[in-house]
Structure 1
Amino acid sequence: MLKNNFFKIATFFIALFLVSCGGDDETTLMGDWVEGTVFKGAPRGQVAYFEIDGKTYLVGGYNYEEGDFYNDTWQYDPQTKQWTQMDDFPGVARRDAVGFAVNGNGFVGTGFDGENKLNDFWKFDPTAEEQWTRIADFGGASRWGAVSFSIDSLGYVGTGYSDDGDKNDFWKYSPVTNAWTEIKTYDGYKRHDAIAFVINKKAYFGTGVNNGSYKEDFYVFDPVAGEWDDLADLDVDDSYSVIRSNAVAFVINGYGYVGTGYKSGVQSNFWKYDPSTDLWEEVTGFEGYARQDAISFVYENKGYVGTGKNASYSFDDFWVFDPAAEYDEDN
């Protein structure tokens, strides 16, 4: 009798332990998304963009259903949640251009107009009567799908797809001298449609695609030293799924965030990068439709992601990510 009772009690506690362990598999990811203000222009992807004084500017892009290239310029003010159309971009309508901002001015250039890879560059001054001015052409080969970033008073542009294939060169632009200078580049694969983000005046660079292969290498660039250092590959941990192309990236409170994009289909997952540990952590995935070729920016410690495309549609919606909030499936 005692043995039988002991068996029943032991079975009960083993079952309870298994149930409690099973619950650990459902990990609650941090961060929550809410739908933001719809873009007032036509739905599109592959837009150039930059930020000035808390406002984000979108330039050009491409609508996949209609086959339309754009040269319009839009300003979004996240404080008032208003879109305002600005002066049209005076260059040829294009997709896959790059944008960056330095000292209160935006800069847009390179890209693809449907027939030609481009190398022209333009400066945008939101306070000027004529907002756009042509500047020195990009110093490298004409291309689309490059990356860009700015640190202090210089803009940087590199990689992309040119007439002779993918590139791995990088160039810096000085608005003071209106000149491009080639700089030392990373020791890794050529590619297009990669991402870059800046934390503490250092640029982090990776992802992208070359010859149909999605790249796993990841680097940090120090503009003071002029050097690139290798970081842990994006697949160093078997649980990571950061590798992709055509993604978005932004920085909040010293952490990098990378998400959406394309790899064996459009993506919606998002990852947080900690530069102090060189490790990635998955956060709550994008809650709009999965997409590639979107844009992103940050305002008051929240990330904004919008536009882009999937296999069927171009998008005009925007979503707002709060990394400090817990996921709420009802909002």
Structure 2
Amino acid sequence: MILKNFFVHTRSVRFIKIGLVLSIILPLVSCSGDDDDDLVGNWVKLSDFNGVPRTSATGVAVGTLGYMGTGLDSNDDRLTDFWTYDADRDQWSQIADFPGAARTNAVSFAADDKLYVGTGFDGTVKVRLKDFYEYDPSSNAWTQIADLQSDNVNSPDVVGREGAVAFTLNDVGYVGCGTDGDGNILKDFYAYDPSTQAWAEKTAIGGSKRTDAVAFVISDEAYVATGINNGTYVSDFWKYNATDDSWTKLRSITDATDDDFDDDYDDIVRNNGVAFTSGGKGYVATGGKNSSGAVVWEYNPSTDLWVEKTGFEGSSRYNAVAFTINDMGYVTTGQNSSYYFDDIWRFDPNAEQDDDDNGN
């Protein structure tokens, strides 16, 4: 905590009095300001990303490798480079460039041991996109697949979008929500099956439309939370089951009851955050309410309850990328105001916080 404009008179009596007051106040301030003392979880800073710092990139894990690419650099140039992260060696390697238009706020998912990337915002021609590409790690090659589309002949054309969410269930990729080129917030969902190379329209998420939300998967069910809808932060929380193509509403992620369990839930609500999984639980990190953030929350599907964890120990940020490798969460890139990041962090949700391994 910084004390601003603190004026001390030179006369010794006043100096002594002020010193005594400060000796009482400062320990109290120090104790109350360290909110993570009683929280569990540890962030470890790893080897910096080899490429240029960026924000609004996209990424996901395919097998035991993390993938990350596209986004916006500090010169406001949109990017097409793509990279893999080997967690065992803590090493980044560049792969073939993404072949589509340079973009921000795209989505990605993994299916059948391949990477799929699409949608996003083309800042050059100011278009929200719906094209998709498949990356095959075995050949280091990209192939364009069918655009995001519906198999329902009675449905209108599917609009391009940015700020969507994506997840994978049973080797099928799902994409939905986001915002279109007219600023409309969306709630529709579509699934891509690599075995048939076709998209199918699925049941739209219940409750609020949303953009810049997060999604994670636990035990063959997907969870979608956070985001914003026409200037309002979304607090409803949903679970998707692919077997019967249905959404189930879970407890709100805000202080919605008279019980104690959700008294601090308002801190979960945010947009432009990230999500990952570990140990059968989901984690929401970074992002915020019109600002960068560092607060981390853990979701337990067996109780439908959230617990706050140790806050993100890197610089607070939004528009980062997260993925899960070997049951551990990783967070990389993003921005804080005009500062763009190239660091990467691993989170162990069950370890005690250790400042000695965070690079500070």
Give the TM-score of the pair, scaled to structure 1.
0.90
Deviations 1:104-163 (A, max 9, x none): 11100000011111111000001116x100000011210100000001121000000102
Identity, in percent, stands at 45
Other-structure match for 2:244:
225
Deviation at 1:299, TM superposition (A): 2.5
2:120 to 86, 111, 114: 111
Deviation at 1:231, TM superposition (A): 0.4
In structure 2, give the amino acid aligned to 1:315: F
Aligned runs of 1:258-269 on 2, under 5 Å?
Answer: 258-269=284-295
Deviation at 1:26, TM superposition (A): 8.2
Other-structure match for 1:5:
none
The question of 1:66 aligning with 2:66 is answered no
User: Do the aligned partners of 1:29 and 1:282 also contact (CA within 8 Å) in 2?
Assistant: yes
Deviation at 1:27, TM superposition (A): 5.5
Other-structure match for 1:198:
217
Other-structure match for 2:17:
none
Other-structure match for 1:9:
none
Deviations 1:195-221 (A, max 9, x none): 010000000111001111110000000
User: Do the aligned partners of 1:142 and 1:163 also contact (CA within 8 Å) in 2?
Assistant: yes
Deviation at 1:298, TM superposition (A): 2.1
The question of 1:270 aligning with 2:296 is answered yes
Deviation at 1:264, TM superposition (A): 4.0
Aligned with 1:330: secondary structure?
helix
1:212 to 204, 220, 231: 231
CA distance in 2 between counterparts of 1:219 and 1:26 reads: 28
CA distance in 1 between counterparts of 2:163 and 2:274 reads: 13
Aligned with 1:289: secondary structure?
coil
In structure 2, give the amino acid aligned to 1:61: G
User: Do the aligned partners of 1:59 and 1:71 also contact (CA within 8 Å) in 2?
Assistant: yes
User: Do the aligned partners of 2:60 and 2:322 also contact (CA within 8 Å) in 1?
Assistant: no
Aligned runs of 1:10-89 on 2, under 5 Å?
Answer: 28-63=38-73, 65-89=74-98
Other-structure match for 1:12:
none
Aligned with 2:270: secondary structure?
coil
CA distance in 1 between counterparts of 2:237 and 2:290 reads: 20
Other-structure match for 1:144:
162
Other-structure match for 1:7:
none
CA distance in 2 between counterparts of 1:238 and 1:308 reads: 29
Aligned with 1:326: secondary structure?
coil
In structure 1, give the amino acid aligned to 2:334: G
User: Do the aligned partners of 2:127 and 2:181 also contact (CA within 8 Å) in 1?
Assistant: no
Other-structure match for 1:252:
278
CA distance in 2 between counterparts of 1:121 and 1:311 reads: 30
In structure 2, give the amino acid aligned to 1:198: V
1:133 to 143, 149, 154: 143
Give the TM-score of the pair, scaled to structure 2.
0.83
CA distance in 1 between counterparts of 2:42 and 2:59 reads: 24
Aligned with 1:37: secondary structure?
coil
CA distance in 1 between counterparts of 2:347 and 2:37 reads: 19
1:91 to 88, 92, 100: 100
Q: Relative to structure 2, which stretch is displaced further, 49-58 or 209-218?
A: 49-58
Structure 1 segments of 4+ aligned residues over 3 angstroms from their partners: none
In structure 1, give the amino acid aligned to 2:108: G
User: Do the aligned partners of 2:60 and 2:324 also contact (CA within 8 Å) in 1?
Assistant: no
User: Do the aligned partners of 2:215 and 2:223 also contact (CA within 8 Å) in 1?
Assistant: yes
Deviations 1:34-72 (A, max 9, x none): 111100111001112122220011121112x31010001
User: Do the aligned partners of 1:301 and 1:322 also contact (CA within 8 Å) in 2?
Assistant: no
In structure 2, give the amino acid aligned to 1:113: D
1:120 to 128, 131, 137: 131
CA distance in 1 between counterparts of 2:104 and 2:161 reads: 11
Structure 2 spans left out of the alignment, 5+ residues: 1-30, 150-157, 257-261
CA distance in 1 between counterparts of 2:276 and 2:299 reads: 10
Deviation at 1:244, TM superposition (A): 0.2
Structure 1 spans left out of the alignment, 5+ residues: 1-21
Deviation at 1:324, TM superposition (A): 1.6
Deviation at 1:180, TM superposition (A): 1.0
Aligned with 1:111: secondary structure?
strand
CA distance in 2 between counterparts of 1:125 and 1:151 reads: 19
In structure 2, give the amino acid aligned to 1:71: T
Q: How many residues of Structure 1 are paired with residues of Structure 2 in the alignment? A: 308
1:313 to 324, 339, 342: 339
CA distance in 2 between counterparts of 1:53 and 1:255 reads: 19
Other-structure match for 1:3:
none
RMSD value, Cα? 1.7
Deviation at 1:327, TM superposition (A): 1.1
CA distance in 1 between counterparts of 2:231 and 2:290 reads: 11
In structure 2, give the amino acid aligned to 1:261: G
